[in-house]
Amino acid sequence: MGDERVHLPESKEESQQFLKYLLRDVRAMEKMLNEGWFEIDNVRIGAEQEVCLIDQYAKPSPIAMELMEKLGDNGFTTELARFNLEANLTPQLFEGKCLSNLETEILEKLDQIRDVMRDFDGDVALAGVLPTIRKSDLDIKNLTPLQRYRALCDAINKLRGEEYDLRIQGADELLMRFDTPLLEASNTGFQVHLQVSPNEFVEKYNLAQAIAGPVLASAVNSPLLFGKRLWSETRIALFHQSVDTRTVGDHLRDSSPRVTFGNDWIKESILEIYREDIARYRVILSSNVDEDVEKLLEEGKVPQLRALQIHNGTVYRWNRPCYGISEGKPHLRIENRVFPSGPTVSDEIANAAFWLGLLNGMGQHYPNIHEKLDFDDVRMNFFAASKLGMDTKFRWINDKRVSAVELITEELLPIAREGLENAGVDKGDISSYLDIIEDRADSGQTGSFWMVKSYNELSKKVSREQALTALTNAMVKNQKKGEPVHRWGLAKVDDMENWQPHTLLVEEFMTTDLFTVQKDDILELVANLIDWRRIRYVPVEDDSKHLVGLITMRKVFRDYNNVIHGKSKESTSVDDIMIKNPITIHPEASILQAIEIMDEQQIGCLPVVKNNRLVGVITEQNYMTITKRLLRVLDKKKSLNS
């Protein structure tokens, strides 16, 4: 949805007019298909590389607009958030050294971005979800200030409401409330395009659906969000929920989300998808369409089909149909939106080679794939791969249950090699990139496996925030080296060389695994919590998670001491001794602000509150963790300077 002129419909009449243009575009495409307007002589591939912009502390750097001014219009474009950028790559004929040419161009684009980022003391990271991203980074202030992005956010909020809950269950569970669709900006991907002729579209599109699960299983690179270990490819769940405009009803009515894998095989043409998207999804954006498609067709001129392209840009299929024009000739493409960004450019091109080879070779081995696989199984394969990566068990041809490793290495890789050979792709390219997929499958080390394994080891030694920083720094270093992820060693504590406490927010260091009581609870429960959990502070909250007080270990000891020495009667409930209206802090305040408050007020605990709800606590123990790491950094710098 790159059209700058899109906006929310301002009236019912404008929505109706845009819908007329949309239906007219569909009729125009039908006419073009029937009359053979589309290019069939050439097959091209293309790609879009999305990147995360990071500062010197490995946190998101919202400077995309400033960066674009220096980069100029050299194939770069903005994304939804100010800390992301996209590079559009030159289409290549699907032959010869197209794959290595694509890799060379991506590396050149990344070098251009890095050269400019140095002026801002920043860098670039390739990750499906940046490990160090924080909830505060997803504030609406980081929305890229362009009309089309504001219009999209307003449209989603209008349909869904401004607040919604995100819930993803993996090894950990994430349950969090958001008030902006900017959550989707946590995702960055590597989109791959394949041009197909109209008469091949149905077969190729169905094959793309069939192989989506296996190719994703080998490519997963997004296991972490806000320090939680979730799906192997958390992007999938995150994208589905972040732009889901459905509301909950009283009855079991079927309703498709705007981010969708699809509902069935297609049978006749690309028009089935466009018609379904018009039937299922309301028009949420409009534009001043100024082309008369019927007149253009009469004159033999190729229309842009702007209304169709705008609506297509608001329905997010993981395999998206695309209409485009090259050198005055219309063409059809399949856009693979499954792959995450990273771990390295070599890994990305290997993923693309695997997918392209399969699309070009599967049809010979499995003609009419829709007769051999149940669509529900294909869809479940996709979501299973999103959750489990290379540990997935797929339901495959002839109802066979097969592991991801076995399916990829024994069946799909040989077909992909054959498909690339049939396209005339250079043999060196074929071996170079498909060997990466084979080695990755044999080792089991995908980007997600490396991240989770590194994070688990780092978390035994340092805080969550420090572990995520070290992980991101190690990832960027490995990306610059360029070796594929299956060769990476685990991230180390020493990878935090630029870590500094003044860059931290309270939300990054606060304790979120809380043990709380209510004001009517007995003090014996509090005493046991302090003993069992080895904690010094117990927040008091009501049924709605509103903070109403705080109990300290000192308060409990003092109460028992007074009872023992006959100075007072035993308190009966938490309400009798709790600190009412305790001093609190916001999760997006700086860690230095928290330290200053605790020092000035001579307190050892600050409850962290947002929207009047308790979300965490920050204590002197958290500062011990910060101080320990800071002293190590200072000692290391001293050793290097001596």
* Residue 100 in this model has a pLDDT that exceeds 80: yes
Determine the pLDDT at residue 154. 85
- Cis peptide bond upstream of 343, omega within 30: yes
Of the CA atoms within 13 Å of residue 218, those in its CB half-sphere come to: 33
Residue pLDDT, tens place only, 561-607: 877 777 777 777 899 999 998 999 999 888 888 989 999 999 999 99
Interatomic CA distance for residues 19 and 6, integer angstroms: 14
Give the residue-averaged pLDDT of 329-334: 97
On the question of pLDDT at 468 being above 60, the answer is yes
What is the percentage of the chain residues whose pLDDT exceeds 70? 94
In 3D space, the residue among 540, 532, 561, 545 whose CA is nearest the CA of residue 605 turns out to be 540
Q: SS3 letters for 323-337?
A: EEEECCEEEEEEEEC
- Residue 262's beta-bridge partner residues? none
Residue 642's pLDDT is 64
pLDDT at 633: 65
CA distance 135 to 588: 9
Q: What's the whole-number mean pLDDT along residues 357-381?
A: 96
Q: What pLDDT digit, counting tens, does each position of 136-189 carry?
A: 999 999 999 999 899 888 888 887 776 778 899 999 999 988 888 888 899 999
Helix 12-34 vs helix 271-280: angle between axes, to the nearest 10 degrees? 170
- Where does the pLDDT of residue 7 fall: very low under 50, low under 70, confident under 90, or very high at 90 and above? confident
Q: Is the pLDDT of residue 1 over 80?
A: no
Closest among 514, 445, 499, 489 to 468, alpha carbons compared: 499
User: Which domains, ranges and CATH numbers included, belong to the chain?
Assistant: 12-443 (3.30.590.20), 507-627 (3.10.580.10)
Q: Which one, of 262, 196, 210, 213, lies nearest residue 371 by Cα?
A: 210
Residue 199 is predicted with a pLDDT of 96
Q: Nearest to residue 191, comparing CAs of 356, 399, 4?
A: 356
Nearest to 53 by CA among 92, 12, 86: 86
- Give CA–CA dist 251/232, Å, rounded: 32
- The sign one gets for the Cα dihedral 298, 304, 310, 311 is positive
Its sign, for the CA torsion 84, 88, 94, 98, is: negative
Residue 309's pLDDT is what?
94
Q: What's the mean per-residue pLDDT of the chain?
A: 91
| HSE-up (13 A, CA, CB side) for residue 203 | 16
- Output the pTM of the full model: 0.86
- The predicted pLDDT at position 282 comes to 87
Q: Has residue 542 got a pLDDT over 80?
A: yes
| pLDDT at 341 > cutoff 60 | yes
Contact 437, 350 (CB under 8 A): yes
Quote the CA–CA distance of 39 and 248 in Å, as a whole number: 44
Q: Could you tell me how far CA 324 lies from the centroid of its own chain?
A: 26
- 104's CB contacts (< 8 A; 6+ apart) are none
117 near 67, Cβ under 8 Å? yes
CA 580, CA 551: separation in Å to the nearest integer? 9
User: Which pLDDT tens digit goes with each residue over 252-285?
Assistant: 445 678 899 999 999 999 999 999 999 998 888 8
The predicted-structure confidence for 500-522, as pLDDT tens digits, reads as follows 654 678 888 889 889 999 999 99
**How far is residue 376's CA from residue 287's CA, in Å, rounded to a whole number?**
36
DSSP state of 375: H
- The pLDDT, as a whole number, for residue 634 is 67
Q: Looking at residue 173, what is its pLDDT?
A: 95
Q: Is the pLDDT reported for residue 499 higher than 70?
A: no
Total residue length of the chain: 642
